[in-house]
């Protein structure tokens, strides 16, 4: 490959003239923006152990009242992007949020899409679009773009959840903003529970729902049962994985990020191929050894990690007696819609 000319090769007077006219020569930067075969990635393999962050999150509960925080969150920031950027990958934001008994995180809506994966504690709930969604360990609750949402807590122990948003992308698009709202009136059930039953959808007088987000809460008890049924049904299946979908269309549950649950059988090792999107791993149950191109982590229960795109990831369940369960988020829907999705095998 030819070495291209450098900026320093150009006379200063010429560079000054370009600069004065807001012009930039491409060739000194061409290889940086279009590198050969593998993109430049700021996203570094990163591990956030829950045991280390939990005391600091609880301390935030003492230091900062909810009224002064609105959302009491410690952001899981990828050092490769710079901590101040508050992003886990190019398109993924991760935050660990604490709500104490009796607290209220007021209603708002925003352009970025969010989900929350409940990490621990009982008694909290999120009201989304008038639907009161109880929060239990492993539940996934969607708060898609434009839907009102607020959090309340009737229990007696701290509740922690992992927020996953496409904030870095929407912010980069200069399309990120929020609107504050009034406390929502809780409406009668939306009928979401019907979707959790195998292969049926609500169809009053032969009419299917046209809602963009027909299901807002995916209870872990049901997702876990689906994984176990799949593993039992297909004992030779190498990868016991499910996708959180829009049950009316079969599409990904949200537009930009994809969400999945993975079960590793006792002692199972699994290699995930190098694919273009970055990927986040959150251990719901058990313990998993993860290797991302030589960066090795042990993901203990409630730990979170991320891997850059175009990188193979090896997983191994540390237990020889119990299954391990992992929640994953990635940028697949975005990459597919943009036509840049790759699986390099
Ligand atoms: Fe929000």
Query: 109 alpha carbon to ligand 1 midpoint, in Å?
Result: 6
Question: Residue 1: what pLDDT?
Answer: 62
Q: Which strands form 288-292's sheet, in the order they lie side by side?
A: 269-275, 311-317, 288-292, 295-299
Question: Residue 235: what pLDDT?
Answer: 95
pLDDT reading at 84 higher than 90: yes
* CB-based contacts of 17, cutoff 8 Å, min separation 6: none
pTM: 0.96
Query: 207 alpha carbon to ligand 1 midpoint, in Å?
Result: 32
Lowest mean pLDDT among 152-156, 184-188, 333-337: 184-188
By CB atoms closer than 10 A (0-12, 13-18, 19+), residue 204 is exposed
CA-to-CA distance for 259 and 190, rounded, in angstroms? Answer: 22
Conformational region of residue 81, where left means phi above 0, alpha means psi within -120 to 50, and beta covers everything else: alpha
CA-to-CA distance for 323 and 344, rounded, in angstroms? Answer: 28
Query: 96 alpha carbon to ligand 1 midpoint, in Å?
Result: 13
Query: 67 alpha carbon to ligand 1 midpoint, in Å?
Result: 15
Query: 208 alpha carbon to ligand 1 midpoint, in Å?
Result: 29
Query: 335 alpha carbon to ligand 1 midpoint, in Å?
Result: 24
* CB-based contacts of 233, cutoff 8 Å, min separation 6: none
CA-to-CA distance for 233 and 158, rounded, in angstroms? Answer: 38
Query: 114 alpha carbon to ligand 1 midpoint, in Å?
Result: 7
Q: What is the pLDDT of residues 171-208, one digit of tens each?
A: 999 999 999 999 999 988 777 888 877 688 899 999 99
Query: 46 alpha carbon to ligand 1 midpoint, in Å?
Result: 24
Question: Residue 252: what pLDDT?
Answer: 98
| Local structure of 299: helix, strand or coil | strand
Q: What token pair was written down for 154?
A: 């009737």
CA distances from 138 to 71, 102, 196, 260 (A): 20, 22, 16, 12
Query: 112 alpha carbon to ligand 1 midpoint, in Å?
Result: 8
Nearest to 240 by CA among 281, 272, 200: 272
Query: 322 alpha carbon to ligand 1 midpoint, in Å?
Result: 35
Query: 77 alpha carbon to ligand 1 midpoint, in Å?
Result: 18
Query: 303 alpha carbon to ligand 1 midpoint, in Å?
Result: 22
Query: 296 alpha carbon to ligand 1 midpoint, in Å?
Result: 33
Question: Residue 188: what pLDDT?
Answer: 82
pLDDT reading at 2 higher than 80: no
Query: 164 alpha carbon to ligand 1 midpoint, in Å?
Result: 10
Query: 272 alpha carbon to ligand 1 midpoint, in Å?
Result: 31
Alpha-carbon Rg for the chain in angstroms? 22
- Which three-class secondary structure string do you get for 217-285? EECHHHHHHHHHHHHHHCCCCCCEEEECECCCCCCECCCCCEEEEEEECCCCEEEEEEECCCEEEEEEE
Query: 55 alpha carbon to ligand 1 midpoint, in Å?
Result: 23
Answer yes or no: are the C-beta atoms of 281 and 246 closer than 8 Å. no
Query: 69 alpha carbon to ligand 1 midpoint, in Å?
Result: 12
Run of H or E residues at 179: strand 178-180
Query: 40 alpha carbon to ligand 1 midpoint, in Å?
Result: 31
More confident residue, 198 or 304: 304
Question: Residue 200: what pLDDT?
Answer: 87
Query: 81 alpha carbon to ligand 1 midpoint, in Å?
Result: 23
Question: Above pLDDT 90, what percent of the chain?
Answer: 92
Place of tokens 């049901």: 222
Query: 174 alpha carbon to ligand 1 midpoint, in Å?
Result: 17
Neighbours of 180 (CB within 10 A): 10
Average pLDDT score over the chain = 95
Answer yes or no: are the C-beta atoms of 164 and 97 closer than 8 Å. no
């Amino acid at each position: 490959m030819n070495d291209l000319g450098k900026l320093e090769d150009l006379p200063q007077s010429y560079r000054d003239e370009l600069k004065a006219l807001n012009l930039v020569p491409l060739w000194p930067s061409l290889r940086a923006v279009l590198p050969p075969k593998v993109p430049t990635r700021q996203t570094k393999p990163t591990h956030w152990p829950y045991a280390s962050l939990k005391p600091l999150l609880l301390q935030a509960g003492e230091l900062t009242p909810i009224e002064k925080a609105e959302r009491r969150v410690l952001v899981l920031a990828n050092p490769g992007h710079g901590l101040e950027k508050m992003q886990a990958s190019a398109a993924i934001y991760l935050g660990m949020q604490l709500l104490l008994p009796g607290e209220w995180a007021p209603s708002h809506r925003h352009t970025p899409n969010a989900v929350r994966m409940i990490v621990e504690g009982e008694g909290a709930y999120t009201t989304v679009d008038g639907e009161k969604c109880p929060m239990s360990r492993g539940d996934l609750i969607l708060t898609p773009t434009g839907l009102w949402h607020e959090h309340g807590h009737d229990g007696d122990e701290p509740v922690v959840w992992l927020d996953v948003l496409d904030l870095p992308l929407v912010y980069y698009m200069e399309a990120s903003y929020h609107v504050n709202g009034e406390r929502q009136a809780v409406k009668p059930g939306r009928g979401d529970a019907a979707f959790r039953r195998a292969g049926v959808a609500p169809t009053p007088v032969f009419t299917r729902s046209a809602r963009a987000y027909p299901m807002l809460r995916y209870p872990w008890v049901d997702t876990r049962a689906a994984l176990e049924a799949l593993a039992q049904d297909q004992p030779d299946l190498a990868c016991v994985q499910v996708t959180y979908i829009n049950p009316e269309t079969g599409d990904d549950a949200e537009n930009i990020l994809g969400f999945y649950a993975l079960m590793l059988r006792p002692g199972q090792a699994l290699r995930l191929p190098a694919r273009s999107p970055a990927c986040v791993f959150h251990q719901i149950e058990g313990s998993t050894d993860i290797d991302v191109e030589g960066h090795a982590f042990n993901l203990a229960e409630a730990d979170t990690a991320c891997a850059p795109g175009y990188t193979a990831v090896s997983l191994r369940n540390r237990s020889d007696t119990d299954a391990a369960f992992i929640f994953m988020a990635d940028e697949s829907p975005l990459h597919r819609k943009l036509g840049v999705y790759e699986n390099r095998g």
